[in-house]
Structures are given as structure tokens and as C-alpha cells.
Amino acid sequence: MTTHTHTTTATAASVYQQLRGHLAELKLADAAEALPSVLDQASAEGWSLTQALERLLRVEVTATDARRLAGRHRFANLPTGATLADFDLDAASGIDRSLLAELGTCRYLETATNVLLIGPPGVGKTHIATGLGHAAVHAGYRVYFTSAADLAARCHRAAIEGKWSTMMRFFAGPTLLIIDELGYLPLPGEAASALFQVINQRYLKTSIVITTNRPVGAWGEVLGDTTVAAAMLDRLLHRSVVVTLDGASYRLRNHHAAADELRRVTTGTNPR
């Protein structure tokens, strides 16, 4: 009897070790780590085999999801933590709650729809673009954020180093490519054609969010070539949501508010 119990324990111990070995072999590190506590909990609470297995694998699935999310987030290169939820609609004009909510669902990505955010400096274009990036990262999409100038510079370098096609593949990869600040700097001819090629190879396949301080009518000037500008707009606008943000700059608004407050405390007058 004693011998029998001993054998059972020894067998259980070796099966347990084998199980740990399987988990390690399959690189299920989080499940391996959780194994003792899940087994303890299972016997303490009388879980079925199915329940126990579900709990164990859930640990691994949760950890894997978190790792992938962190990886997508790192890759996305988003400039700030700005989210759509942080965006104050009362301080903006040109976008309403329902459009912002619709964009927040990421459904536009399924139809390779582009989003153009147009408006003067400080109205929240980069904020919304970044917020769309965060929403897409959380929804499981691959996102990459860059500025028009940076994209142009990288394509230029790639051309020199003979890595043009690698660079083009890179910009074709993400489900959402965000190109910030088109129009702040004039793009030389070569840069304009790089940008065109990036847009063209994504056309009808994957989405672009682009922010610009110049109305589309001025893109010929920005790109130094009306033909390239027309071709680019043709593809960008074919399936697109165009948001024209206007009104006072949020940055300046804060400065005005700070100045008003300063005036109020120093002179005791209320400017309003």
C-alpha cells in the first residue's frame, strides 16, 4: 500500500515535470509559470479538466495579446499618447462627434479608405491622426506614423543606398500609414515622386491618414508639379473622408486663456 502510494506520487511528479517540459518546449512561458497556481486552484475549487485547461491557456493567450499589443505600439512610432477620447470636440470645428466615433471604430481600414485632415496649425490634425493610430493599434492593426519630410528623406537615402524597393515594401506593409505634415516643407521633385509611389502602391489596398496645412488646391505648389499632385489626389480622394478643421488654434487658445488669467490676477479685471 505504502509502495503503491509512493509510485503514484512519483508518477504524478514525473507527469508534472513532463507537462512543464512540454510548455517550455512550446515556449508557453507564461502558462508554465502559472501552472503550479492553476493546478492548486483547480484542486482547491474542484475545477473540471476543461476548466483547468481553459484557465491555463487563458494565461498564455492574455500574455501573448499584451506582448503583441506592445510590439505593434512600439512599431507604430506614434509621437504622443493623444487619443480620440482626449479630443475636445467643443474646442474644434470641422469634425463632429458621430464622424469621430465612426473613425474610432477603424471600419474605414476595412475598405482601404483614406482620411485627409486639412487645416491651419494648432487645430488638432496631428492629435486626431495620432488618436486614429492608437485606436488602430488597439484594434490589432499594424500602424506606422511618419512625417512627409521624414518619408521623403528616408526614400532619398534608400535610393542612394540601393534599397529603394525595400523601402517601398516597408511603406506598403502597415494596414494604416499615417503621413503627418504634408505642406510644411516644400518637397523636391524626387520626394514628390517617392510620396506618389508610396500612395500609389497602397491605393485600394490599405489606408493612409494624411495631415496637411494646405488646401488640396495648393498641392501642386507643395509638390512642385501639378501633374504629380493631381495623380496623387486622384488616388487619395477616390475613397476618402476629408476633414477640414478650422477655427482658432487650440495651442493659441491655451495661450489666450493663460494671458487672460494672468491679466485677471495682475489687474483684478475680468477680460470677458
List contacts with Mg ion (CB under 5 A).
126
Residue 141 near residue 132, CB atoms below 8 Å = no
Per partner kind, with CB cut-offs from 5 to 8 A, the member of ligand ADP, Mg ion, none near residue 223 is none
174 binds ligand ADP (CB under 6 A): no
Distance of closest approach, residue 231 Cβ to ligand ADP, in angstroms: 26
Residue type (1 letter), 59: V
Task: Give the residue with the Cβ less far from ligand ADP, 34 or 122.
Answer: 122
Indicate whether 178 belongs to the interface with ligand ADP (CB under 6 A): no
Q: Is the separation of the CB atoms in 83 and 103 below 8 Å?
A: no
Residue closer to ligand ADP, measured from CB, 86 or 234: 86
Of 238, 251, 255, 263, the residue at the interface with ligand ADP (CB under 6 A) is 251
Closest distance of CB 93 from ligand ADP, Å? 9
Cβ distance 201 to 167 under 8 Å?
no
> Which of ligand ADP, Mg ion, none does residue 29 bind to, with CB < 5 to 8 Å depending on kind?
none
Residue recorded with cell 493612409: 208
Return left, alpha or beta for 76; rule: phi > 0 is left, psi -120 to 50 is alpha, else beta: alpha
Q: What is the smallest separation between the CB atom of 249 and ligand ADP, expressed in angstroms? A: 7
Among ligand ADP, Mg ion, none, what does residue 82 contact (CB within 5–8 Å per kind)? Answer: ligand ADP
Residues in 190-219 that interact with ligand ADP by CB under 6 A? 211
Within positions 80 to 139, which residues make up the interface with ligand ADP, using CB under 6 A?
Answer: 82, 86-88, 91-92, 119, 121-127
- Between 47 and 184, whose beta carbon lies closer to ligand ADP? 184
Query: Which residues of the shown chain bind ligand ADP in the complex (CB under 6 A)?
Result: 82, 86-88, 91-92, 119, 121-127, 211, 250-251
